[in-house]
Amino acid sequence: MKVFISVLCVVTILVVIVGATSGGYIVILKNGERIRCNEPLAIDGNLAIITLITGQVTSYPIDHIDLVATERYNKLGLGDALTIDELERNEQIPPTPTPRRTLGNYATLSGLGDQVELSSDNPPTPTPTPGIKLQPESYKDPQVSAAFIEVLDKKNLYLYRTSTGTRPDYFFIQAVTDTQREVFHALKTVAEAFDMIATRRPDLAPSTVELRMVETSGRTAGTFRLTQEDAAELAGGAIPTEKFYVENVIF
């Protein structure tokens, strides 16, 4: 009898979960609340525009939403699946909070020191593209690595490692980011460093910077391939860091 009840409970749970994974999107707030939506959120300035499962459109300040957790969850392809406890709650439409400034409004841009000189005699050669990760080999030009390190350190990004990327002309950075604020800071800082180097010496700068952000526990917090155009857009403020994250993150 106990075995039969256990099996029945498992089947019931699976039915609930399957029914909830037919589609949809989950937005995760920083307070832990999860909001079931019809489609992915959109970013408009410092607001996240959300279409609830009821069809009602509402908005939240970006800094109320855990974008990293939201994107990580939805990349799993679970649709609008929630925990059993959450599925049993009464669905209520939360009020729209008062908008506040986003983290992107506080980011700064500084210059690259004149003492950095870049040079290289090694032409890039094409190679197969493995996964984006830290490689055992350093980037082909140590002075390019030194330029990145100088800028990243000046902008208070300390927990990182560098190597060559998935191609000889790609530069790779792995940064430790345990909070959403650290994620956005690392993304913006790497973009600023890349843009400064590309502006000063476009002939020697990497064609692409690969950035992988990980938590101390080892969980991925977001992976990116930044072109020189991407870096200029982010560094110049043409696109908010939060919006760039949502539109370009690779997990």
The per-residue pLDDT for 81 is 55
The per-residue pLDDT for 19 is 38
Q: In terms of Cα–Cα distance, which of 106, 248, 102, 108 is closest to 192?
A: 108
The per-residue pLDDT for 226 is 97
**Region for residue 45 given its phi and psi (left: phi exceeds 0; alpha: psi -120 to 50; beta: otherwise):** left
pTM: 0.61
Every domain of the chain and the residues it spans: 21-100, 105-248
The per-residue pLDDT for 1 is 47
**CA 94/CA 29 separation, integer angstroms:** 11
The per-residue pLDDT for 57 is 87
Question: Which DSSP symbol is given to 77?
Answer: T
Q: With contact defined as beta carbons under 8 Å apart, do 63 and 31 qualify?
A: no
pLDDT in tens, the chain (251 residues): 444 444 444 434 333 333 334 468 889 998 888 888 888 988 888 888 998 888 888 888 888 899 998 888 888 776 655 543 443 344 444 444 433 333 333 333 333 343 433 433 434 333 444 589 999 999 999 999 999 999 999 999 989 999 999 999 999 999 999 999 999 999 999 999 999 999 999 988 999 999 999 998 888 899 999 999 999 999 999 999 999 999 999 87
CA-CA distances (angstroms) from residue 223 to 19, 71, 88, 123, 196?
31, 12, 34, 26, 21
The per-residue pLDDT for 24 is 80
Torsion of CA 72, 75, 80, 83, to 10 degrees: -50
The per-residue pLDDT for 55 is 84
* Rounded (to 5) percent helix, strand, coil in the chain: 35, 20, 45
Question: Which residues, 6 or more positions from 224, have their beta carbon under 8 angstroms from its beta carbon?
Answer: 187, 210, 211, 212, 248, 249, 250
Q: Structure tokens of 226?
A: 């930044």
The three-state DSSP-derived secondary structure of 233-247 is HHHCCCCCHHHHHHH
Question: Which residues, 6 or more positions from 112, have their beta carbon under 8 angstroms from its beta carbon?
Answer: 147, 150, 151, 193, 196, 197, 200
The per-residue pLDDT for 212 is 95
Domain 21-100 top-level CATH class: mainly beta
CA 177 to chain centre: 10
